[in-house]
Structure 1
């Protein structure tokens, strides 16, 4: 599995795009998908700002992150299915799509050109670590597991975002379309 920062960032971009598709098509639990999108975009932005952007000219990208955060907060507060939700979602998709296109056509190619393979892997590791910290901080606190229940039957205390990240590391196909329980099941099978 590639661990260079460019691959990791573009992988997140594709995940965000699949979450947008789910929201546009009104598939699954919309509130849960919005929560997952919120956690992923915030963690991704913080990791880029703290670990990737220092040393490169990315002021404009930081401004785009701030704009996306404002729209994300509005989306979290709005009710799925309402005109406000749809309008905010469209604005967020437009904003993030513009940012992704700019990042993938200008910033990442410039970074690839200026940094060697070793540096890209170092940045990838730093990006992953910072992203994981943010995802952990943004997740719902884990509930205590009930006692006396066999290990496989205990509900997973991990959030869907955490399970998704584990599935990403395990390279489980179709993970972006899976719900929390499906991810947990796929991870159990991958480990056995």
Structure 2
């Protein structure tokens, strides 16, 4: 299992991309019947929730203010976070990690997450690369990393918190 990436400043685009690659590795681990699926899922839940919440509170508003993305793109990305959170919760609620139900719910999460990562990389991160200065991306990277770390420290991936987020 990949270790949870530490909070480190730098270009927000690179930090987000590193998380995306981490999510893909965690999903691969979850597909492996010999892995400690419960432990991998707990780590994935924590990082996924922290990542999405930090994007919504720090990154999307800043990119919107700089006109790198519009309100529709923000709404679309947030809706995809909601869908991912719902799929994550459904997977977390499966008791038997070796069951067919776990595999099915994992597939649903993987589909939702892969779709979102693809769209975000094309429709949010590309404009951030081209329309936002390096200094702003670095400042935003610091802000995103600090919020992400704070959320991870608060155990944001706990199932009770994921339920609260999904219920909105």
Helix, strand or coil at the partner of 1:53: helix
Report the counterpart of residue 160 of structure 2 in structure 1. Answer: none
Q: CA deviation at 1:139?
A: 6.4
Give the aligned partner of residue 117 of structure 1: 134
- Which of 135, 144, 150 aligns to 1:133? It is 150
Q: Distance in 1 between matches of 2:55 and 2:34?
A: 29
Take 2:133 and 2:77, find their aligned partners in 1: how far apart are those partners? 22
Contact (CA 8 Å) 2:9, 2:145: kept in 1 or not?
no
Out of 37, 53, 60, the position equivalent to 1:46 is 53
Partners of 2:34 and 2:145 lie apart in 1 by 28
RMSD, aligned α-carbons: 1.6
Which structure has the larger Rg? 1
2:123 equivalent in structure 1: 106
**CA deviation after TM superposition for structure 1 residue 131, in Å:** 0.3
The residue number in structure 1 matching 2:165 is none
Counterparts of 2:9 and 2:28 in 1: how far apart (Å)? 25
Structure 2 unmatched ranges of 5 or more:
1-7, 158-168
Match of 1:70 in 2: 86
* Distance of 2:156 and 2:57 partners within structure 1: 20
The unaligned stretches of length 5 or more in structure 1 are 141-192
Instruction: Determine if the alignment matches structure 1 residue 95 to structure 2 residue 95.
Output: no
Structure 1 counterpart of 2:10, from 3, 26, 29: 3
* Residue in structure 2 matched with residue 33 of structure 1 by the alignment: 40
| 1:95-137 deviation per Cα after TM superposition (whole angstroms, max 9, x unaligned) | 0000000011121001111110000001100000010011011
CA distance in 2, matches of 1:26, 1:65: 27
Task: State the aligned residue count.
Answer: 140
State the shift of 1:26 in Å: 2.2
Higher relative contact order (CA 8 A, sep 6+): 2
Residues 71 and 10 from structure 1, CA distance in 2 versus in 1: closer, same or farther, beyond 3 angstroms? same
CA–CA separation in structure 1 for the residues paired with 2:112 and 2:88: 11
**Matches of 1:91 and 1:29 in 2, distance apart?**
20
List structure 1 runs of 4+ shifted beyond 3 angstroms. Answer: none
**Shift of residue 12, structure 1, vs aligned partner:** 0.2
Residue 23 (structure 1) aligned with residue 30 (structure 2)? yes
